[in-house]
Amino acid sequence: MAKEMTCIVCPIGCQLTLEPEGESFAVFGNKCPRGKKYAIEEMIAPKRVITSTVAVDQGMYPVISVKTQAPVPKELIFDVMQDLSSVLMKAPIQVGDVVIKNVQGTGVDVVATRNA
Amino acid sequence: MLDVCIVGGGVIGTAISRELSRYQLKVRVVERNEDVATETTKANSGIVHGGYDAAHGKLKGFFSAKGNAMYPQLEEELHFGFRQTGSFVVAFNEGQEPELDRLLENGIKNGARGLEIISGDRAREMEPHLSKSVTKALYCSTAGVTSPYELSVALAENAAKNGVEYSFYTEVNGIEKVEDHFILHTSKGPVEAKVVINAAGLYADRISAMIGEDDFTINPRQGQYVLLDKDQAFMTDTVIFQAPENGSKGVLVTPTVHHNILVGPNSDYIDEKNDVATTSDVIAKILKAGSKSIDAINTRKVIRSFSGNRASSDRGDFIIGETKVKGFVNVAGIESPGLTSAPAIAIHVADILKEMGLELTADPNFDPTRKPYKRIADMEAEELNNLIAEEPAYGRVICRCESISEGEIVDAIHRGLPITSVDAIKKRTRAGMGRCQGGFCAPRVMEIISRETGLSMEEITKQGEGSYLLTKRSKDALEKGGQDA
Amino acid sequence: MLKYELVVIGGGPAGLSAAVEAYEQGVRKILILERDKELGGILNQCIHNGFGLHRFKEELTGPEYSLRYIDLVKDTTIETLTDTMVLEISEQKVVRAISAERGYMEIEAKAVVFSMGCRERTRGAIQLQGDRPAGVFTAGTAQRFINMEGYMPGKRVVILGSGDIGLIMARRMTFEGAKVEAVCELMPYSNGLTRNIVQCLDDYDIPLMLSHTIVKVHGKARVEGVTIAKVDENFKPIPESFKRIDCDTVLLSVGLIPENEITQNAGIAVDTRTSGPKVGELRQTEMEGVFACGNVVHVHDLVDFVSEEGALSGKGVAKYLKGELETTPNFSTANSDGIGYVVPQTVNLSNVDDQVTFYMRVRSVYDKHIVRAYQGDTLIAEKKERKFLPAEMVNFKIKKEILANLADGEIRFVVEEV
């Protein structure tokens, strides 16, 4: 059975159609190869980049922004948020500095997205 | 033991407190909300009436012209914002014109000054955007506009400086007469006073009933308004009333003291004293009625709508005087022109106390003045430069729309009345009053309040109890002692 | 008096890009004035990702995007003053500003770039009725509290308006443990990007209620709930559809307004269609030597285009300072059927390198339509898209050689059925 979805890889938001093809899916409607990768992943194991904040000591603000450096499994979002909640960084921090290594065993690091 | 306890920190309570602070008396104002001027005083037309409207023979007629005459000096002493803009009552047809004559006559009897009936054309020369359909107008040169809450704050600050105590979050739940004095049971414990002045506005009937004086009721009468952006100030700089027709008063279009345009109010009795919800049908009606006076009401320029309730009594006039219970004075049912009358009423109340036998000895240290705010928006280059060099906080603009600096906000916090809410700062400095309505500055105002008062961000409210703005820190690590920047 | 070749008012993405481009084109004495305590503008609180796909070909968060430009500025001799508020600029292009550190300043500028950005529409502007409790925030204010100050503004949320900030905040508040009950959108379509609906709402089962609005806010001290209603085709609430939702917070995401107080005080008229100053192809305004770019000109949907427009104004400044900016326009632009506005409003061809990008917004959702440019009845060019949405700015590029063949006059943009 065909499945419809909206690609979220970039702001264009292509309307994708997926049709089962053996173990995987055939993808139609994508304007770029990343759309195909997204669609298949979304069917098998959806992932998201998480952007949030962590507490920081002696920064310009009490928190700094962070992200997972790559998409992580969607079902782990709230576990990652829980981990982020208890982190306390100390300024100075540079953009790209690792905040949590290998968060939730995903192999993905959480990094700072600004200086503090 | 207090000499006088005033219940209610609206414009009436604060005016009386300031008047009594001239004397060697121990006075306290108890106010159930977080600040002065939180109910009726916060949301009304802000007009200082000429004194021609209220019927001669009534207390309203007696006090309004007198109060009007006191405003210029009051402004000089307290710097709360008053502009003598003049007012029109406009007639749209011949049928309405006799009404102007009646008002003129009534005004003369009341002692109102600066009255004159003029042609529609003459009125349009003064205010070019006035509707073509205006045939005649009653002009009153002594009418003006003020900021009711800034007046109330100024009166309270000046009273506090002269020794009056202000106690907020203090709700009166019962009053006991004990021999020669009263015990007020409040949410902050008992308060003893020789004299109680009931200036509780919408709740004056309840307070009066606590000592058994239940011969009047306060019926809240709603007034909804819309406020237009300052760039609409061209519409009019004169207060414009419409001549009453078929018993209905029409709506007014007025400049505010800060050069916005205010249109309203309706005048409907409602059930709940604290119902200040606005409704879209009333707002639409107001805008429609207002556009009879002025052609150019641009609804896209509305920056805020609000509603306030007048403390109308079933007596049809102010209720001022000592009750059958000796020492208990009602100052109730103060609806329009109550703001105008307030300073005159305050003097009258002092006279009542004297007649009651309270000794009023002038306080030689009484200082009638309150220092004005250093408003950077009004300053010339050199003055501004010198000020910032001396106090750098005046160079940090917090409210962009109204150009309010950190210096002004810090000043507002340290003027003798406790500050716990964002609205308290808004009332005093206008931060958050502009077109962005606090979108940019509210977080920064909260930070300054927190820094200056030691309250946590979560403790700071919008407008008193229960009106918290923030629920918690976003991260456990912050709750556990992560440091603020 | 301080003297600069270029003073840029606003250190967000538009201003940074304008300054960097002007510098690259040879302008040396440049000053950026920023009212916040750091450069970067509103991007600093937009911590989500999705910025920079056009400009940097990668997906950045807001702070990372602004940092790219801040780093570029650091490599130059461009000067910056933060915590500095511009009060006004005079006809002689004297910029008057204040800061705690430096007091009152008068800065003489040969050229000025306006890049003050925009602000959010408020409760008053949309005339939201009902009680006036605490707990009604614009989405951007809530975003600042959460992402910069580290505070939560509420626990149960209803969002009015499906602009991108509203959608982003729905997800953000969900991440931080709040429950978002619904997003109400007055229009029959969303004003946000489709991908944001998918990844901010659908992912967390947050209902998007199209053709719905809040008719009343409840609560004396703090928000206790809202009454929502379905609206008919004239946007009038349908009484039978009234429904109460309990919540403690209302977020408003109901549009952005260019911030043009300084512009208007300088005597520069504001175009009622864009709410920004009228600009030419290099973003010159009607006041000589004054340029404008970014959300102060018109509200963009992607920061990449803001940077692009900033760069255009930077080019314009450089040309102007060299005395090479031609001033009399060849063309004016007009919007008719289906188009809300067009930027730039005028074009002088001799200032154009190889093409002009016309930015515009359609008035409603158009399927199977095309945007066409006409001069009189003559079709000049057309722009195809799978679908035109009011939420997505249309970039309509027309080659210089096409424009060069036209007579001076008006170019009109319309949406037509295919």
Nearest to B244 by CA among B141, B100, B118, B139: B100
* pLDDT over 50 at B238, yes or no: yes
Specify the residue for token string 């043009």: C260
Confidence of residue B303 (pLDDT cuts 50, 70, 90): confident
At B237, list the tokens. Answer: 């700089």
Confidence of residue B247 (pLDDT cuts 50, 70, 90): low
- In terms of C-beta density within 10 A (0-12 exposed, 13-18 middle, 19 or more buried), how is residue B125 classed? exposed
Sequence-separated (6 or more) residues with CB below 8 Å from residue C77: C23, C28, C30
Q: Is A64 on the interface with B (CB under 8 A)?
A: no
Q: Does A102 touch chain C (CB under 8 A)?
A: no
Residue A50, chain C, CB below 8 Å: the answer is yes
Angstroms from B436 CA to nearest CA on chain C:
7
Q: What is the pLDDT of residues C159-217, one digit of tens each?
A: 999 989 999 999 999 999 999 999 999 999 988 888 899 899 999 999 999 999 999 99
Arithmetic mean of pLDDT, C75-81: 97
Question: Which tens digits make up the pLDDT trace of C346-396?
Answer: 999 999 999 999 999 999 999 899 999 999 999 999 999 888 988 889 999
What residues have CB less than 8 Å from B128, skipping those under 6 apart?
none
Q: How many CB atoms lie within 10 A of CB C290?
A: 25
pLDDT of residue A1: 67
Binding-face residues of A in 67-86 toward B, CB within 8 A: 84-86
CA dist C70 and C36 (Å) reads 14
Residues 6+ positions from B355 with CB-CB distance below 8 Å:
none
User: What is the model's pLDDT at position B482?
Assistant: 45
Sign (positive or negative) of CA dihedral B346, B351, B356, B361: positive
- Which chains are adjacent to chain A, needing at least 3 Cβ pairs under 8 Å? B, C
pLDDT band at B481 (very low <50, low <70, confident <90, very high): low
Q: What is the mean pLDDT of chain B?
A: 94
Active site residue B49: yes
**Has residue C144 got a pLDDT over 70?**
yes
Whether residue A114 and residue C198 make contact (CB cut-off 8 A), yes or no, is no
Q: Which of A54, A62, A86 comes nearest B485 by C-beta?
A: A62
Considering only CB atoms, B474 lies closest to which of A53, A56, A57, namely A53
Confidence of residue A41 (pLDDT cuts 50, 70, 90): confident
Check whether B436 has a pLDDT greater than 90. no
CB B323 within 8 A of CB B211: yes
Query: What is the DSSP track for B70-130?
Result: HHHHHHHHH-S-EE---EEEEESSGGGHHHHHHHHHHHHHHT--SEEEEEHHHHHHHSTTB
Q: What is the pLDDT of residue A4?
A: 85
Q: Does B479 touch chain A (CB under 8 A)?
A: no
d(CA A77, CA A63): 19
- How confident is the model at residue B299, as a pLDDT? 86
On chain C, the residues whose CB falls within 8 A of the CB of A77 are 175
Nearest-CA distance from B454 to chain A in Å?
Answer: 17
Residues 457-476 of B with CB under 8 A from A: 473-476
> Which has more confidence, C248 or C53?
C248
Percent over 70 (pLDDT), chain B: 98
The rounded distance, in Å, linking the Cα atoms of C92 and C308 is: 28
Higher pLDDT, B439 or B86: B86
Percent of chain C whose predicted confidence (pLDDT) is above 70? 100
And the tokens for B310? 């007048």
pLDDT digits (tens, 9 = 90+) for B52-91: 999 999 999 999 999 999 999 999 999 999 999 999 999 9
With beta carbons less than 8 A apart as the criterion, state whether C116 and C103 touch: no
For residue range C296-335, what is the model confidence (pLDDT) as tens digits? 999 998 999 999 999 999 999 999 999 999 989 999 999 9
pTM score, whole prediction: 0.92
Provide the H-helix boundaries in C322-373: none
Residues in chain B with CB shorter than 8 Å from the CB of A80 are: none
Are C13 and C65 in contact by the 8 Å Cβ rule? The answer is yes
With residues binned 3-state (H G I as helix, E B as strand, rest as coil), the percentages for chain A, rounded to 5, are: 25, 35, 40
Q: How is chain B split among helix, strand and coil, in percent rounded to 5?
A: 35, 25, 40
> Tokens for B7?
């219940």
pLDDT exceeds cutoff 80 at B353:
yes
Task: State the burial class of residue B439 (Cβ atoms within 10 Å of its Cβ: 0-12, 13-18, 19+).
Answer: buried
**Percentage of the residues of chain A whose pLDDT score is greater than 70:** 98
Residue B248: pLDDT band by 50, 70, 90 thresholds?
low
| Contacts A–C by Cβ distance under 8 A | 79
- The arithmetic mean of pLDDT across residues B316-336, rounded, is 97
Name the maximum alpha-carbon separation found in chain C. Answer: 66
Separation in Å, CA C54 to CA B479, C200, C296, C313: 40, 22, 21, 19
Q: Is the pLDDT of residue B485 over 50?
A: no
The sign of the dihedral angle between the CA atoms of B420, B426, B432, B437 is positive
Average pLDDT over residues B115-129: 97
Q: What is the DSSP letter of C354?
A: S
Determine contact, residues C45/C52, Cβ cutoff 8 Å: no
Phi then psi for residue B105, to 5 deg, are: -60, -45
